[in-house]
Amino acid sequence: MNSTYFPCAEKYILGSTHTQGTYKKNFYTYDPNFNGASGLVFATIDTNNDYSPLLAETYNWQEKNTTAYCIENTMDAQDQLFGNATRLVIKATYFPQGFNTDGDWFNYAGKNYNGLEELKEAYNEAGDDSNLKKACDKMFDKIKAYPGSNISVSKFSDLTEGDLNGIPNGGQVIKDGKDDVIRWYQEGLCYYYYMIRHDNTLNDEMVFGKYGVVRNNWYSLTLNSVGGPGSPWYPEANNPGPGDPDPKDPIDEAAGYLGITVSVAPWIVWENEIDI
């Protein structure tokens, strides 16, 4: 989220036109953070309590079909990076086809595990030096060290569903920076993010005016499809997990699971349809 803006900003006219609203030409504005990344505000994680996301003021989780005000955030073409642009985060529940939908599931190295018992079975069959066994042991150490944990067992293979139920936001708890970990989808919880596009007619990579949020525009985002699970941890822009893009990565270099279409009209409504 951008925290600064110009009360009166210089406008750049883009090539696309609109059929809705009052402006026939699409424009982009120059804001104080047009070059670089000063003035940005990020969501964080409450590591002192339950590892829940601490959203930037004044935002909170919203139900679908609701609206929120977002301060202007524009950038030069080469600064359309994951750490600079405004993103939408979607909190969802996802279970692979055929999995139990009333418990947890796990993923490691591209393989899904339908519950703790299935993961423990794979752990017991793995070699002592296997990456899976090391990742499970790291998971055990993380949840054992969780403040207030009442786990009495001494090894991963003895964990029970009751032990895991006492850990809130389990996917976030066992995240360890960019290091590979067991992806713990607690009750199917996962997160997706979408970098808001200002001009949805631009298909070339890193084109000027493609990403950002411009004042006096209404952005309507429509989620069309979901192509797979999101991350089991909140996607912090400035503290990515394994597989997440770095803040300085260009937006157009990474693929995602969301398919979103954006439309904008002035007060342009920008409608984005999403396929995840």
Q: What is the pTM of this model?
A: 0.86
Judging by beta carbons within 10 Å of its beta carbon (0-12, 13-18, 19+), is residue 73 exposed, middle or buried?
buried
| 105-188 has CATH 3.40.190.80 classification | no
In the predicted model, is pLDDT for residue 262 greater than 80? no
pLDDT (tens digit per residue) in 129-142:
999 999 999 999 99
User: What pLDDT, on the 0 to 100 scale, is given for residue 266?
Assistant: 53
From the list 98, 92, 128, 93, the residue with the least C-alpha distance to 112 is: 98
Collapsing DSSP to helix, strand or coil, 97 comes out as: coil
Is 177's pLDDT higher than 80?
yes
* pLDDT tens-digit readout, 201-226: 788 899 888 999 988 888 888 889 89
pLDDT for residue 217? 86
At 239, list the tokens.
């503290």
3-state class (DSSP) for residue 40: strand
Q: Given the structure tokens 């030409």, which residue do they identify?
A: 25
Average pLDDT on 137-154 reads: 93
11-87+190-275 fold: Immunoglobulin-like (2.60.40)
- Is 18 a residue whose pLDDT tops 60? no
Strand partners for 218: 265, 269
- Which whole number is the average pLDDT over 226-253? 92
Query: Quick one: pLDDT band at residue 230, thresholds 50, 70, 90?
Result: very high
Give the start-to-end residue ranges of the domains of the chain.
11-87+190-275, 105-188
Q: Strands 87-93 and 189-195, how do they pair?
A: antiparallel
3-state secondary structure of 139: helix
pLDDT at 58 over 80: no
